[in-house]
Structures are given as structure tokens and as C-alpha cells.
């Protein structure tokens, strides 16, 4: 771009042709970029572009390097950044001394470089930060954010394609709101309020992290004052008794295309109320007293949603499922993958239920509920079904919540401080949980028409007789 320099801050041309800058000069229209130097304040100048933008700057000599440097003062605005404001700033900076002056602009340049980072660059840095291994309360080294892969997926799928090349400090709440609306409208795939919510949560975490002291990639998060999303309707799918019966016996069919241990894991989810991620990696070392009167399954905190150890009592029906899964196997994992002695993928149960499709949309492997003629449901719906059975049997909601590893907020209509359960009361409520899960097992046996096996005590009595 062509530039016309009206005066220089020093030298004969400056003495012979310097001007006194005024706000009116800064507002003049030009056909090509010009620089006007101020006679009253040596070093101060304004650069005016054909677009009408007037930038006030300050030239000085860095005593450490002996080179001339330029410090940016601001864009001229007759109300907020005037010529007189710029002169005052230059006088103040000169009063700091040469070294301090150079250091001030050096730090400002670093800050400008930070704030010049793109959203894509910050996303990459954020993901690396989340993946970094740190020591957890149980002593193990695991990623700082253990669900980092989910967060990374939301950042890369939703935010990076639209905002990745944009300077992070220039992203506004309107950019986030527009992206959110487009996700809801289906412009980035299937219309989804849930995905818009995931995007907002990931974006909020990203920009709050970027604004933290020491990073300062942005001055504040743009994820504020966003329009409220429509409420998501909670899932209410509960299997009926007939559906439970069809599902249970259907899982025993030999013609199903899914691995036997996958089908046993689905049964185990219904019987124990555990989440997929909690039960699929079940290890022999986590099973206790299978031959005793109080069998249980200890789920380590690293697999639990709330990052706390679950001690889940095992009903006789749950023990039967475990024994079948371990029968004839020397593997250490109860529901071992067909690929070896390793846990199954955490999505295997959901995939088995709904089936798989080819790229052209045609069915590759039919899902279990389609093969059995059942309405679609998810592994989480099995938890809800078991909890509903327990509720219908008259068990207290607080007891059922313990089986689900939910925090009960009330106790006999009295609100209990959250710190009570988090810090002081570490009781596992095994007695109440065992009563609920044994009751669910008995109810399932009634529904599927399968009699309960003789108990350990009854077997001893029969042998003694």
C-alpha cells in the first residue's frame, strides 16, 4: 500500500515542516495511507488509511538495541482516544526512562501476540493440557480431565470448523449464539439441542481457560448472556414386563449375531443398575465373596462417573451371570473382548442394541431390539427399568438412589447439606442396597419365569440331611 509521510519526528524536514496534530486532522479523508507527525510531542504520529481508520502511535529508540521501535497507542476516537490523550500517554511513557519504556512496549507486544492466537491454536493447546497425566486421589497417573476425548470431540466437531481460523480475542457472544442456533437447526448435521448444549459447555471451558492468568489469550469469555436453549425432555423409556421377558429370553438365542458376553453384560446392567462404563471392565480382582452370603462388586473410582468407589452388592441372579461369563475362561476380565483379555469397548452394548449400518445407510448387522421386535431402547434405559421395578416394589427412593450411585438430596423431606455426604458420611449403605437389588432380582425371576437357585445355606442343610 502506498504511504505518504507528511513530516518526520526528527531532522531538518521535521523542523521545517512539522504540524500540530489535531482531532480534526485525524478525521480527514485520504485516498492512500498517510502519516502525520506531531510537532508538539516528538515521536507521536497518526497513520490514516483510506478506510478512515486513524491509528495513533509513538516512535522511540530502544537504548538496549539501538534500534528504532514503534509503540501502538490506540485507534483515534473523538470521545475515548483523542490526540491530547495520546500526547499525555507519550509524556508519561517518556518520564519512565528509556529502559522502562522499551520494556513496557516489549510486554505489550507479547500480550498482543498472545491475543493474536486463533481459536484453532487454543483448542490444540487446551486438548494437550487436558491430556496431561497428573496424579489422582487414588495414586494413579491419569489425564487431568479424564473425559478429555469427549470434550476434544465437541471442540473439533462443532467449534473448530466454524471458528478455528478466527482470532480468539475477536470471538463474540454473537458468534457463539449463531453457532448454537445453527447446530439446533441442523446446519452442522442432525438437529440437536443436546449437541448445542455440549458445544456451549466445551466453548465455555475453552474460553474461561484461555482467560486465566498466565495465558491471557482473551480478556473474557464470550459465552455469556446467550439465549436459553429449549429444555431437553428427559428419557422415560421403561421396558414392560412382556418386553423384559422377550428381551431376557431373546438374549439366550443362538442365532443372534452378537457375542455371548456382550449379551450377558446387557443382562448384568438390568440386574445391577450399573452404568456401561462401570461394569464392562469388571475384573476378577474386583469380585468378592461370590461363594459367600454377601457377594459384591467393587468398581474403582476411575470408572465411576462421580469419581468415587462403588461397592455394589450382587444378587444371586447377578452371580449367575458372572459365573457364566467366566465359565471356561482363563481371562481376567469378566466381560472380556473377543479380541483378547481386555475390556470391551464402552459403546459395545449400545451398538449391539441398535445394530450397525453401512455408509449408504443400509443395515450391516441388525440390532438386538430389532431382531426381537422391541421398541428401541438404550443400555441406560435398563438402569431406569430396574429402578422402576424397585420403586414399584415399594423401596425408598433414597435406597434406590444409592444403587444408582445418585446423591439423594432429601431425607424424609429434610434437605441434607451436600458436604455431609461428600466429606463426612462415607457409608456405602450395603444393607439397604442389597435389599433393593435382591428384590429386583426376585421380581425379574418372577417376570421371566425362572425359579431361584437353592441358597448356599439350603445346600448345606440338604447335604447334611
Contact (CB, 8 A) for 93 and 85: no
State the helix-helix crossing angle for 241-250 and 430-448, rounded to 10 degrees: 80
**pLDDT tens string 29-43:** 888 889 999 999 988
Average pLDDT over residues 243-257: 94
pLDDT tens, position by position, 59-89: 887 777 777 878 778 888 888 889 999 999 8
* Cα distance between the two ends of the chain: 105
What are the pLDDT digits (tens) for 252-273? Answer: 999 999 999 999 999 999 999 9
3-state SS class at 363 = strand
pLDDT winner (highest mean) among 18-22, 110-114, 351-355, 456-460? 351-355
In this prediction, residue 298 has a pLDDT band, given cuts at 50, 70 and 90, of very high
Sheet holding 33-37, edge to edge: 3-5, 33-37, 44-48, 54-62, 67-75
Do the strands 410-411 and 287-288 form a parallel or antiparallel pair, or are they unpaired?
unpaired
d(CA 175, CA 447): 54
Instruction: Compute the distance between CA of residue 191 and CA of residue 171 in angstroms, rounded to an integer.
Output: 24
pLDDT in tens, 142-170: 999 999 999 999 999 999 999 998 888 88
pTM of the model: 0.66
- Buried/exposed 364-382: b ≥16 CB within 10 Å, e otherwise: eeebbbebbebeebbbebb
Q: Give dist(CA 294, CA 281) in Å, integer.
A: 21
pLDDT value for 413: 45
Q: List, as one string, the DSSP characters of 111-126.
A: HHHHTT-BHHHHHHHH
Closest by CA to 148, choosing from 119, 124, 176, is 124
**What span, in angstroms and rounded, lies between the C-alpha atoms of 41 and 203?**
45
Distances (CA, A) of 335 to 252, 259, 274, 355, 383: 16, 10, 14, 19, 18
User: 165: part of which helix (H) or strand (E)?
Assistant: none
Percent of the chain with pLDDT over 90: 58
Q: What local confidence, expressed as pLDDT, does residue 460 receive?
A: 38
pLDDT at 398: 92
Which is more confidently placed, 451 or 144?
Answer: 144
pLDDT for 65 equals 73
Instruction: Tell me which residue has cell 496534530.
Output: 21
Amino acid at each position: 500500500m502506498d504511504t505518504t509521510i507528511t513530516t518526520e519526528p526528527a531532522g531538518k524536514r521535521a523542523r521545517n515542516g512539522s504540524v500540530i496534530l489535531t482531532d480534526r486532522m485525524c478525521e480527514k479523508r485520504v485516498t492512500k495511507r498517510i502519516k502525520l507527525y506531531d510537532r508538539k510531542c516528538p515521536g507521536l504520529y497518526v497513520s490514516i488509511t483510506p478506510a478512515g481508520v486513524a491509528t495513533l502511535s509513538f516512535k522511540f529508540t530502544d537504548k538496549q538495541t539501538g534500534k528504532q521501535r514503534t509503540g501502538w497507542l490506540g485507534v483515534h476516537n473523538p470521545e475515548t482516544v483523542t490526540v491530547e490523550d495520546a500526547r499525555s500517554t507519550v509524556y508519561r511513557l517518556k518520564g519512565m526512562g528509556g529502559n522502562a519504556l522499551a520494556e513496557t512496549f516489549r510486554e505489550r507486544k507479547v500480550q498482543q501476540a498472545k491475543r493474536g492466537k486463533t481459536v484453532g491454536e487454543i483448542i490444540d493447546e487446551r486438548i494437550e493440557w487436558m491430556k496431561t497425566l497428573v496424579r489422582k486421589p487414588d495414586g494413579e497417573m491419569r489425564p487431568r480431565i479424564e473425559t478429555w476425548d469427549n470434550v476434544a470431540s465437541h471442540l473439533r466437531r462443532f467449534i473448530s470448523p466454524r471458528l478455528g481460523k478466527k482470532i480468539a480475542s475477536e470471538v463474540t457472544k454473537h458468534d457463539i449464539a449463531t453457532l448454537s442456533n445453527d447446530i439446533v437447526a441442523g446446519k452442522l448435521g442432525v438437529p440437536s439441542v443436546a449437541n448445542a448444549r455440549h458445544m456451549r459447555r466445551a466453548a465455555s471451558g475453552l474460553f474461561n481457560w484461555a482467560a486465566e492468568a498466565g495465558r491471557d489469550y482473551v480478556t473474557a469469555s464470550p459465552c455469556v448472556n446467550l439465549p436459553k436453549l429449549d429444555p431437553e425432555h428427559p428419557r422415560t423409556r421403561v421396558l414392560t414386563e412382556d418386553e423384559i421377558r422377550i428381551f431376557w429370553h431373546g438374549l439366550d438365542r443362538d442365532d443372534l449375531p452378537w457375542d455371548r458376553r456382550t449379551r450377558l453384560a446387557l443382562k448384568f446392567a438390568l440386574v445391577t443398575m450399573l452404568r456401561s462404563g462401570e461394569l464392562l471392565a469388571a475384573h476378577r480382582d474386583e469380585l468378592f465373596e461370590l461363594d459367600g452370603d454377601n457377594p459384591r462388586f467393587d468398581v474403582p473410582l476411575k470408572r465411576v462417573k462421580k469419581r468415587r468407589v462403588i461397592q455394589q452388592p450382587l444378587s444371586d441372579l447377578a452371580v449367575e451371570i458372572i459365573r457364566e461369563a467366566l465359565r471356561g475362561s482363563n481371562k481376567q476380565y469378566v466381560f472380556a473382548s473377543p479380541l483378547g483379555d481386555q475390556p470391551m469397548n464402552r459403546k459395545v452394548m449400545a451398538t449391539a442394541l441398535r445394530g450397525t449400518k453401512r455408509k449408504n445407510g443400509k443395515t450391516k448387522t441388525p440390532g438386538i431390539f430389532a431382531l426381537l421386535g422391541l421398541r428401541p431402547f438404550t443400555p441406560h434405559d435398563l438402569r431406569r427399568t430396574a429402578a422402576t421395578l424397585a420403586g414399584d416394589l415399594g423401596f425408598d427412593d433414597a435406597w434406590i438412589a444409592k444403587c444408582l450411585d445418585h446423591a439423594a438430596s432429601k431425607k424424609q423431606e429434610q434437605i441434607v447439606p451436600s458436604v455431609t455426604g461428600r466429606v463426612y458420611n462415607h457409608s456405602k449403605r450395603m444393607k439397604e442396597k442389597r435389599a433393593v437389588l435382591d428384590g429386583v432380582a426376585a421380581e425379574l425371576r418372577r417376570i421371566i419365569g425362572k425359579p431361584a437357585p437353592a441358597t448356599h445355606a439350603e445346600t448345606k442343610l440338604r447335604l447334611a440331611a
